[in-house]
């Protein structure tokens, strides 16, 4: 069973930085990719950044050059370093794990509970 614990959200001013963390725990599975998504009130949940098990990264156009996703295999944590934050970056940020159980080719996804990021102007 996959478990995800997000942390690092908070209230910052425009132009400042934050780092979100997604700690992955559990056993009996292999992670295929970890993504950060965000959802603002009244809007759909959108991909912000994703990193695959091979280290390939993908970013939403709106955060390209400002956000960096990375992983620390030693402590099974994925980070989202957010810089030059804008009020429109305000949202609940969710960590998502795409994984498959050992011995299975069936791919599943699991969501964390989210962490609030608020950027004031």
The CA-atom distances, in angstroms, between 4 and each of 33, 61, 71, 108, 114 are 13, 26, 14, 14, 10
- For residue 67, the tally of other CB atoms under 10 A from its CB is 22
Tokens of 38: 């965000």
Of 85-89, 93-97, 98-102, the one with minimum mean pLDDT is 98-102
Is the pLDDT reported for residue 105 higher than 90? no
pLDDT of residue 51: 97
8 A C-beta contact, residue 36 and residue 112: no
**Region 42-69: what's the mean pLDDT?**
97
């Amino acid at each position: 069973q996959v478990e995800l614990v997000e942390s690092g959200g908070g209230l910052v001013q425009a132009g400042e930085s934050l780092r979100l963390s997604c700690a992955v725990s559990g056993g009996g599975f292999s992670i295929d990719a970890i993504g950060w998504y965000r959802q603002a009130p009244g809007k759909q949940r959108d991909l912000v950044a994703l990193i695959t098990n091979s280290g390939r990264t993908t970013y939403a156009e709106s955060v390209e050059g400002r956000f960096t996703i990375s992983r620390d295999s030693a402590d099974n944590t994925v980070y989202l370093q957010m810089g030059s934050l804008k009020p429109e970056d305000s949202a609940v940020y969710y960590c998502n794990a795409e994984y498959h159980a050992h011995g299975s080719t069936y791919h599943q996804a699991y969501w964390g509970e989210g962490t609030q990021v608020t950027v004031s102007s």
